[in-house]
Structure 1
Amino acid sequence: MTENIKNVTVKALAWDLAADIHLPPGFDENRSYPAIVSVHPVGSCKEQTSGTVYGAALAEAGFVVIAFDASFQGASGGTPRSVEDPAFRVSDISYVIDHLVTLPYVDAGRIGVVGVCGGGAYAINAAMTDRRIKAVGSVTGVNFGRLMHEAFTGYDPIAALDAIAAQRTAEARGAEFRVDQFLPADPRTAREMGVTEIDVVEATDYYRTDRGEKPGGRTEAVFSRQATSVGWDAFHRAEVLLTRPLCVVVGDKPGAFGAYRDGLEIYRRAASTDKELVVAEGFSHYDLYDRPEPVGIALDHLIPFYNKYL
């Protein structure tokens, strides 16, 4: 696969976002190309699946692809670090598009977005309100707001919000930030803890081993900044606002993070007249991050999808 990457900075609210632009083979800066924004999972970074897998493959297929680190994460700016805030995650996508439309080799009328895991739902949400996005793809997309409202708060969101409020007040008065880890330290620790749930086991294998571990991929979050996530829903008003062509890819081995469930829900609810649901049979959420066969299934649908609508 051709490696032709430009490292750039993108102006966001009051800081810069770090981004990699993956350029297609035979890139000619005098030409005009369709472009795709690639959005990383929760707690991930541009050097993981959004950039090195989907970003690289879509660039190889002829698109200019920009993979970026979210605000407060990776090499991007913003403090405190390790904040996972859906409002910022979605607005980051628009800031990245602001950058794309200034590039002479990008056709501003042919911009799409693709996201993996939480990035898939962020991409869908962004496409509802930023009409510069002409096509949206979601790979094993997870509605992080739904996950926070349910399992990640022990199905007691009000108690979680009370605890978040108390912690934020303590920090405002000088207490140390509380940073929660999403995963065990490594696969061995997971086994010793008796962890058997497929998404947690496979996330640990991806993020905590040489398979996917990168310095910028910190699967953690500042607890006091999670209130917005608890009250957020990536799919709110999809029946009215999500009109762009949509390609949803999921594996049919469901796990606790709920990508299969969320994929079917948004496919049903989207107002899009052109929409496709791709089920990679026999594969799980994290298989779609980097395993060649399921990634190939996803790309076999995503590439023609973007060729048609961009």
Structure 2
Amino acid sequence: MTNNIKHVSVKALAWDLAADIYFPPGFDESKTYPAIVSVHPIGSCKEQTSGNVYGTALADEGFVVIAFDASFQGASGGEPRSIEDPVFRVQDISYVIDHLVTLPYVDADRIGVIGVCGGGGYSINAAMTDRRIKAVGSVTGVNFGRLMHESFSGYDPIGALDAIAAQRTAEARGAERQVTQYLPASPEVAKENGLTELDLFEATEYYRTDRGQAPGGRTEGLFSRNATSVGWDAFNRAEVLLTRPLCVVVGDKPGAFGAYRDGMEIYRRAASKDKELVVAEGFSHYDLYDQPEPVKIALGHLIPFYKKHL
């Protein structure tokens, strides 16, 4: 354990997930604590906002927090690499909970989940079916299935699925894998190519500069494995299955990735009797990753939310 963080391996389907456990100040292993699973954004890693920002802040408030790398990403196992598959992403959360409930210092009846960007959508989906999750928070959460069905497939999901099928067949026969880079190489390259849409440019500023770069964050996806994402919906049956307390945080500067739209939708549709919508006025999707003022707004609601429900 270093600086109140312990690096652990979590057993998943047929490989291990790399995870960091953040401990509260004055941690006493003989006591039991509420725990929160922190889920990173799409194509990201545990060192990018889920652990170093939200994990640290929630641990400082008395929670045991575990941030992990998704299967096929970061320091976790799984081959081939750079798969962004919602089914695996949601299952990973349950594998992490399997690990938490074996720890003597974790109260298995007080486990929550928080997710950022795509991690917010995955967290919401996991909370619908894994009843061990007692409260769910989403920070600028995105429904990755909706994004893939719409703009990420050029608003032609059938055409995209046909192309994915052809590429997967080609790779099965020995062709080189096709990896999609989600972002320009740098903010300068983005400007040179006119790629200045709010979310796309701010994502580039975060992931392609010292502000947010991390060795495990690759912001890329294996094209041939995207079919499941095109047909997936993070919010399917939310009107019936999403009954756990819910806190949704969004910025009011909407961008192309659609977090504002998705946040409004899930807040409206959720069956949760105790649900809260937090709108950080004047801030964008990527502001909520690490900028002090909007993060303070988010945590100002999330901390009491988790203290109440865990």
- TM, length-normalised to structure 1: 0.99
User: Could you report, residue by residue, the CA deviation over 1:211-254 in whole angstroms, capped at 9, with x for unpaired residues?
Assistant: 00001000000000000000000000000000000000000000
Separation of aligned partners in 1, 2:197 and 2:126 = 30
Separation of aligned partners in 2, 1:213 and 1:228 = 28
Separation of aligned partners in 2, 1:109 and 1:83 = 32
Separation of aligned partners in 2, 1:14 and 1:65 = 24
Which residue in the other structure is 1:50 paired with? 50
Q: Which amino acid aligns with 1:209?
A: T
Q: Which amino acid aligns with 1:130?
A: D
Separation of aligned partners in 2, 1:163 and 1:281 = 40
Separation of aligned partners in 2, 1:270 and 1:223 = 31
1:245 aligns with 2:245: yes
Which residue in the other structure is 2:30 paired with? 30
Q: Which amino acid aligns with 2:103?
A: L
How many Å apart are 1:11 and its aligned residue? 0.1
Separation of aligned partners in 2, 1:253 and 1:286 = 10
Which residue in the other structure is 1:223 paired with? 223
* Residue identity (%): 83
Which residue in the other structure is 1:125 paired with? 125
Separation of aligned partners in 2, 1:183 and 1:3 = 33
Separation of aligned partners in 2, 1:94 and 1:125 = 11
1:20 aligns with 2:20: yes
User: Could you report, residue by residue, the CA deviation over 1:176-231 in whole angstroms, capped at 9, with x for unpaired residues?
Assistant: 11000000000110010111100000000000000000010000000000000000
Which residue in the other structure is 1:201 paired with? 201
Separation of aligned partners in 1, 2:166 and 2:196 = 32
1:178 aligns with 2:185: no
- SS where residue 229 of structure 1 aligns? helix
Q: Which amino acid aligns with 2:273?
A: T
Q: Which amino acid aligns with 2:27?
A: F
Give the total of aligned pairs: 309
Separation of aligned partners in 2, 1:28 and 1:177 = 48
Separation of aligned partners in 2, 1:156 and 1:72 = 27
Which residue in the other structure is 2:267 paired with? 267
Which residue in the other structure is 1:70 paired with? 70
How many Å apart are 1:118 and its aligned residue? 0.1
- Which consecutive residues of structure 1, in runs of 5 or more, have no partner in the other structure? none
How many Å apart are 1:53 and its aligned residue? 0.1
User: Could you report, residue by residue, the CA deviation over 1:51-83 in whole angstroms, capped at 9, with x for unpaired residues?
Assistant: 000000000011000000000000000000000
1:151 aligns with 2:151: yes
- SS where residue 281 of structure 1 aligns? strand
Separation of aligned partners in 1, 2:31 and 2:306 = 18
Separation of aligned partners in 2, 1:176 and 1:56 = 40
Which residue in the other structure is 1:276 paired with? 276
Which residue in the other structure is 1:107 paired with? 107
Separation of aligned partners in 2, 1:3 and 1:297 = 26
Separation of aligned partners in 1, 2:222 and 2:194 = 26
Q: Which amino acid aligns with 2:196?
A: T
- SS where residue 271 of structure 2 aligns? coil
Separation of aligned partners in 2, 1:176 and 1:18 = 28
- SS where residue 141 of structure 1 aligns? coil
How many Å apart are 1:3 and its aligned residue? 3.7
Which residue in the other structure is 2:134 paired with? 134
How many Å apart are 1:33 and its aligned residue? 0.1
1:309 aligns with 2:295: no
Which residue in the other structure is 2:61 paired with? 61
- TM, length-normalised to structure 2: 0.99
Which residue in the other structure is 2:211 paired with? 211
- SS where residue 304 of structure 1 aligns? helix
Separation of aligned partners in 2, 1:253 and 1:3 = 36
- SS where residue 19 of structure 1 aligns? strand
Which residue in the other structure is 1:87 paired with? 87
